[in-house]
Amino acid sequence: MKQLTIISGKGGTGKTSITAAFASLSFPSAVFADCDVDAADLHLLLQPSIESEQNFSGMKIANIDSNRCTDCKKCYGSCAFDAIDQEIVLHKESCEGCGVCAYVCPVDAINMIDRDSGRIYQSNTRFGMLSHAQLNTAEEASGKLVTMVREQAISLSEKHQKEFIIIDGPPGIGCPVISSISGVDLVLIVTEPTLSALHDLERIQRVAAHFNIPAVVCINKYTINPENTKKIEAYCQTHQIEVVGKIPYDKSVTDALIEEKTIIEYDSSEVKKSVVTLWNNVLRRLKQ
């Protein structure tokens, strides 16, 4: 079983569209995981039928027993996040789960309980099984949730004897990204021909290199700025990173999204041909 994570140094480069296209090209050999749990959207294209779901609890949250509380206000005075007001009422959105309030309470009126932080789903799609999740608004521990999504994907892959796990990773270089690339066989970095995207490519490539994970690059919408495309290619050549694909800008990608289809399903444009070439090159690297 080989694991591929598709990432980008910033949002909006097209990695989810490419992941969905890979889903249609890899059928029936893969299981898919949407690890962009803060803003999951792979399901919009894969249209999953949910088969099971479970609660996700990230950090703890304070629970105040008003019957035991003596209104000493020690918790109010000790909370660094202003999550407890003078009336000893907890404001859940401000609680960081540190437990100081429970520690200082002289009558044990506060205990720390699991908080409802999101949901994890196991679904079926027209291309195979999908492991995905939704983190609730303003919740944290997204790295932990990404790890659980990946563990579920591995379990599904082993159960159904699939050859690949294809992971739609989150943008950026933070904890969720590290959780989505740790231990995978290859990362595909999707970039675009802008100067800011080149800077973001450099950052995410350094993260992959730090964890000794092989990385390849796809330049999406490369035709919008040929000069910057050449700069990205030069950077990749200098750092011995293979550019495994270049996808031209084409309105058909947007048209396909509107119809909730992958570009592979939509038409036979140059974009489709370039994505097929990209997939074949990624397969070659995965099998090395």
Q: Where are the alpha helices (DSSP H) in the chain?
A: 15-26, 42-46, 74-78, 100-104, 142-160, 175-181, 195-210, 226-238, 252-258, 263-266, 270-286
**CATH class of the domain at 2-56+119-286:** alpha beta
Q: What is the structure's pLDDT at 215?
A: 97
CATH among 3.40.1050.10, 3.30.70.20, 3.40.50.10190, 3.90.180.10 for 60-114: 3.30.70.20
List of the chain residues with pLDDT < 50: none
Spatial separation of the C-alpha atoms in residues 45 and 260, rounded to whole Å: 5
The pTM for the full model equals 0.89
Question: Cis (ω within 30 of 0) for the bond into 170?
Answer: no
> Is-contact 266 256, C-beta < 8 A?
yes
What pLDDT shows up at residue 141?
A: 64
pLDDT value at position 288?
81
What DSSP string describes 57-80? --SEEEEE-TTT-----HHHHH-T
Alpha helices, DSSP H, located in 50-141: 74-78, 100-104
Burial 145-171 (b: 16+ CB within 10 A, else e): bbbbbbebbbebbeeeebebbbbbbbb
Residue type, 227: E
Nearest Cα neighbor of 197 from 177, 172, 163, 161 is 172
What pLDDT shows up at residue 225? 96
Residue 19's pLDDT is 96
At residue 182, the pLDDT reads 94
In the chain, domain spans: 2-56+119-286, 60-114
End-to-end C-alpha distance for the chain, whole angstroms: 13
